[in-house]
Chain A
Amino acid sequence: MRDRKFVSWLFVGPALLVVGFFLFYPTVITTYTSFLGDVDMKGAFPTGNFVGVENYINVLTSTETLVAFRNTMLWLVVMTAFTVGFGLILAVLLDRVNYESIAKSVIFMPMAVSFTAASIIWKFVYAYRPPGFTQIGLLNSLLGAIGSFASRPGVNTALHIMFAIFGITAAVFALLALGKGLWKSITVWKEEDRVTWIAGAVIAGLVLIAAWWILGFIGIGQGTTPVGIAGQVLMILGLVSLGVAAIRDNAFGPPLMGSLMLLGIVDFMLSQIGFTPTTWLLERPWTNNLALIVMGIWVWTGFAMVMLSAAYKGIPRSMLEAARVDGANELQVFWNVTIPYMKTTIIATTTTIVIFVLKIFDFVWVTTNGEYGTDVLASLMIRKMYSFYNYEAASAIAVVLFVLIFPFVIINIRRFQSREAIR
C-alpha cells in the first residue's frame, strides 16, 4: 500500500520504455524527417535543412509511388473482398459437414507459416518454362491440360452446346428476376425499388457513353474525356448492381447463380484453348499483381473463416430454424438473418484485414522485389530506404502509409472506450 505510485512506475516502466523508444519516438522523428532535405544519416539524430512539403510533392508526383498506390488499393479491394467472402462462405458451409475441424485446419494452415515460405510455395506454383518444355509449375501445367482437353473435337462440341444451354438459361432467369423486380417496383414501389434506380444508372451510363461517342465523332473532345469515363463507370456500376439485384431475387436467384457458375466454368475451359505458358509474376500490370494478391488470399482466408465461423456459431439455432419454418429458402436466411446477425464481426474482420493489407510487404519483397510494377507502399518505402538510401522519400512514404492507417488508430481507441463503458 505504501509507495504504490512509485511501484506502479516500476511495473509499467520497462514496457513504456520500449514502446516509447521503438514506436512513439520514431513516429515523431520520421514525421519530422519527412520535411527535411539532404538528410544526414551519420549521427544518432536525423539532420538536414527544412524543405517543407517538397518531399511529399516529389513522392506524390512520381510514377513509382502512384503505381505503388494503385497496387495498394488493388490489394485492398481484391484481397479484402475475397478473404471476407470466402471466409463467410466457408463459415456457413463448414457448419453443415461433420469433417469441419479437418477442413478448417487445412484452410487455416497457411496462416501458421511465414509469408516468406508462402511466397516460395506460390512462386513454385507460378513457375514458368518456355513453350515446348514440360511445365513444372502447377498453374501453367493445369491450364495447358485444360486447354488441350477442351480443344479435343468431341469435347469441344459438347462444351459449346453446354455453353449455349447455360447461357440461355442464365439469360432467361436473369430477365425473369429483373422483370419481376421491375414489375414489383412499379406496382408496389417499396420493396424492390432499388431495381429501378439501378436500371436508371445503366440508362444514364448508356446516355453518357453515347454522348461521349457523339462528341468524339463530331470532333469535340478526343480520347478519354471525363464524360466518357463517368459514363463507363456508371455503366459498370449499374450492370454490377443489376446482377446483384437479379441474384438476390428469392425465386430466380438460386437457379440463376447456378447456371452462371456452370456458364463460368464452361467459358473458362473454352478460353484456355491454345493456352501458352504465362510468366505470371512478370505480366504487368494486372496479371502479376493479381498473382501476388492470390497469395494473400490463400493465407488470410483462414483468418476470416475462423473469426466468422465463431460468430456464425453464435447465432441462435432457433432463429435460423424459425426463418426456415416460415418458408424462407437458404438464400433468404443467409441475407436476412445470418448477415445482419454477424454484422459486427464482419466489420471487425474486414477492418483487421484492411489494416494488414495496407502494410503488406513480404510477398512483394520475396517474389518480385517490387520490380515489374508490383510495388506497394510498404515495400516501396523499404526499397527507397534499403536499396536507394533515399531517406527523404522513404520517410514521406512512411507518413503517407501512416495517414492511410490513422483512421484505424482512432477506430481502435473508440472501440476500446465503448467496450470499457459497458464494463
Chain B
Amino acid sequence: MIRKAINLFSRVPLHVVIIILCIVWLLPTLGIFVSSFRPSSDIMSSGWWSVFLDPADPQNYTIANYTKVLFGNNIWRSFLNSFIISIPATLISLFFAALAGYAFAWLKFPGRNLLFLTIVGLIVVPLQMTFIPIIKIYSSTGLYGSYVGIWLAHAGYGMPLMIYMMRNFMGGLPKELFESAFIDGASVWTAFTRLVIPLSLPVIASLAIFQFLWIWNDLIVSLIYMPDPSKAPITLKIANLVGSQGQSWHLLLPAAFISMVVPLIVFFSLQKYFVRGLTAGAVKG
C-alpha cells in the first residue's frame, strides 16, 4: 500500500514534464483557434485566454472574421485553388513514379543502376538550385502562371523520392509472382496493372497522402511559379496577406486556420499512413 503510494508519487515528475510539454505544444495553436472566433476589437484589446474567464458568454464569439476573410479577401478562392493544384499534381506524380518504380525494380535496361543512383542523389537537391533556369523556360513557353506549369513542377520536385520509395517497396514483391505471370503470357503492362498496383496499395496510399499534404502546404513553388494572385493557393495568399496586413490579426488568424483544416482532417483520420509517409520522406525538397 505505502509502496504503491511511493511508486505513484515518484512518477509525478514524469507526468508533470510530459503534460507541461504537451501544453506548450498545444497552446500556440489553441491561441489562434480561440482568437479567430473573437470579435476583432477583442483580439486587439485583450489576450485570447481572457475568454476563459467567461467562456459561456456568446458575446465573446463571432464568425464575422471568417466570413470577412473568406469572401472579403477571397480566401475561399485560394482554398479551392489549393485543391486544383494539389490533386492533379499528386495524381500525376503518383502515376509517373509508379511506372518508374516498377521499371527500376523489375525491368532490365541499360544504365538502370546509374540512373537510379542519380535519382537517389537528386532527392536532397535544394529547390533554389532549379528556379532560375526553369522560370526562363516557363516564361518563354507560357507555362509561367499556369496550373499545368505548377502541376508539372510539383511532380518533378517530388519524383525522386517517390520513385525511390516505390522501387524499394515494389522490389520487395516476390519474384515468383512475376515469373509465373510472364509464363502465363502476361505483358509488362498487364503485370503492372493487375499485379504491381494492387499489391503496392499501402505504399501508394502513404505516398499519396504525403505528396498531397506536401503540395497543399507548399509555399515556395507557388511563390516562384504562380504570379497570378487569382490562381494562388492558400499558403501563398496568406503569406501575401502577412506582407500587406501584418497586424490585421482578425484576418490572418482565421485564414491560417482555414488553411489548416484540410491537413488536420487528413492527419487525424489517416494518421498511420501520414506518419509512415512523412518519416520515410521528410528529406525532400
> Are B253 and A107 touching (Cβ within 8 A)?
no
Determine the distance from Cα of A171 to Cα of B103 in the docked complex, in whole angstroms.
65
Pick the contact of A15: B127, B131, B163 (CB < 8 A). B163
Q: Mark A1-36, 1 if CB is under 8 A from B, else 0.
A: 100110111011011101101111111011001000
> Are A105 and B18 touching (Cβ within 8 A)?
no
Q: Which residue on chain B has the smallest CB distance to residue A126?
A: B28
Dominant SS among interface residues on chain B: helix
Determine the distance from Cα of A120 to Cα of B35 in the docked complex, in whole angstroms.
12
Q: How many chain A residues touch B (Cβ–Cβ < 8 Å)?
A: 100
Among the 9-residue stretches B66-74, B113-121, B199-207, the one with 4 or more Cβ atoms under 8 Å from chain A is B113-121
Pick the contact of B238: A120, A127, A301 (CB < 8 A). A120
Q: Which residue on chain B has the smallest CB distance to residue A6?
A: B109
Pick the contact of B124: A108, A395, A412 (CB < 8 A). A412
Determine the distance from Cα of A41 to Cα of B35 in the docked complex, in whole angstroms.
45
Contacts known (A16-B100, A103-B22, A412-B123); A366 close to B128, Cβ less than 8 A:
no
A29 to chain B, nearest CB (A): 4
Q: Which residue on chain A has the smallest CB distance to residue B238?
A: A116
Asked whether B59 is an interface residue with its Cβ less than 8 Å from the other chain, the reply is no
Pick the contact of B129: A301, A361, A398 (CB < 8 A). A398
> Are A4 and B31 touching (Cβ within 8 A)?
no
Pick the contact of A9: B109, B121, B279 (CB < 8 A). B109
> Are A11 and B156 touching (Cβ within 8 A)?
no
> Are B131 and A385 touching (Cβ within 8 A)?
yes
**Chain B interface size range:** 35 or more
> Are A409 and B282 touching (Cβ within 8 A)?
no
Among the 9-residue stretches A132-140, A175-183, A218-226, A315-323, the one with 4 or more Cβ atoms under 8 Å from chain B is A132-140
Q: Which residues of A contact B51 (CB under 8 A)?
A: none
> Are A395 and B132 touching (Cβ within 8 A)?
yes
Contacts known (A18-B156, A110-B25, A399-B129); A138 close to B31, Cβ less than 8 A:
yes
Asked whether B1 is an interface residue with its Cβ less than 8 Å from the other chain, the reply is no
A262 to chain B, nearest CB (A): 11
Most buried by B among A15, A110, A111: A15
Q: Mark A175-198, 1 if CB is under 8 A from B, else 0.
A: 000000000000000000000000
Asked whether B193 is an interface residue with its Cβ less than 8 Å from the other chain, the reply is no
Asked whether A114 is an interface residue with its Cβ less than 8 Å from the other chain, the reply is yes
Q: Mark B30-66, 1 if CB is under 8 A from A, else 0.
A: 0110010000000111111100000000000000000
> Are B132 and A394 touching (Cβ within 8 A)?
yes
Q: Which residues of B contact A361 (CB under 8 A)?
A: 219-220
> Are A23 and B157 touching (Cβ within 8 A)?
yes
Asked whether B97 is an interface residue with its Cβ less than 8 Å from the other chain, the reply is yes
> Are B122 and A8 touching (Cβ within 8 A)?
no
B94 to chain A, nearest CB (A): 11
Asked whether B208 is an interface residue with its Cβ less than 8 Å from the other chain, the reply is no
Q: How many A-B residue pairs have CB under 8 A?
A: 305
Contacts known (A23-B125, A30-B132, A116-B238); A124 close to B28, Cβ less than 8 A:
yes
Asked whether B283 is an interface residue with its Cβ less than 8 Å from the other chain, the reply is yes
Most buried by A among B14, B128, B141, B189: B128
Pick the contact of B103: A11, A24, A386 (CB < 8 A). A11
> Are B126 and A303 touching (Cβ within 8 A)?
no
Q: Which residues of A contact B3 (CB under 8 A)?
A: none
Q: Which residues of B contact A37 (CB under 8 A)?
A: none
Q: Which residues of B contact A107 (CB under 8 A)?
A: 21-22, 25
Q: Which residues of A contact B264 (CB under 8 A)?
A: 109, 112-113
Asked whether B274 is an interface residue with its Cβ less than 8 Å from the other chain, the reply is yes
B106 to chain A, nearest CB (A): 9
> Are A121 and B21 touching (Cβ within 8 A)?
no
Determine the distance from Cα of A395 to Cα of B14 in the docked complex, in whole angstroms.
50
Contacts known (A8-B103, A121-B28); A19 close to B128, Cβ less than 8 A:
no
Among the 9-residue stretches A42-50, A62-70, A229-237, the one with 4 or more Cβ atoms under 8 Å from chain B is A42-50
Determine the distance from Cα of A93 to Cα of B242 in the docked complex, in whole angstroms.
38
Q: Which of B123-160 contact A (CB under 8 A)?
A: 123-137, 140-141, 152-153, 155-157, 159-160
Asked whether B239 is an interface residue with its Cβ less than 8 Å from the other chain, the reply is yes
Asked whether B17 is an interface residue with its Cβ less than 8 Å from the other chain, the reply is yes
Contacts known (A12-B103, A97-B15, A134-B45); A116 close to B219, Cβ less than 8 A:
yes
Asked whether A55 is an interface residue with its Cβ less than 8 Å from the other chain, the reply is no
Determine the distance from Cα of A27 to Cα of B31 in the docked complex, in whole angstroms.
42
Asked whether B217 is an interface residue with its Cβ less than 8 Å from the other chain, the reply is yes
Q: Which residues of B contact A352 (CB under 8 A)?
A: 282-283
B238 to chain A, nearest CB (A): 5
Q: Which residue on chain B has the smallest CB distance to residue A105?
A: B271
> Are A19 and B159 touching (Cβ within 8 A)?
yes
Question: Could you list 10 examples of A-B contacts with CB < 8 Å?
Answer: A11-B99, A23-B122, A23-B130, A26-B134, A121-B28, A134-B45, A141-B47, A359-B128, A385-B132, A402-B126
**Contacts beyond the supplied A12-B99, A112-B263, A138-B28: 5 A-B pairs with Cβ under 8 Å:** A21-B156, A30-B130, A116-B256, A365-B239, A409-B122
- A residues with CB within 8 A of B: 1, 4-5, 7-9, 11-12, 14-16, 18-19, 21-27, 29-30, 33, 41, 43-46, 86, 90, 93-94, 96-97, 103, 105-117, 119-125, 127, 134-138, 141, 298, 301, 303, 306-307, 310, 352, 355-356, 358-359, 361-362, 365-367, 369, 378, 381-382, 385-386, 391, 394-395, 397-399, 401-402, 405, 408-410, 412-413, 416-417
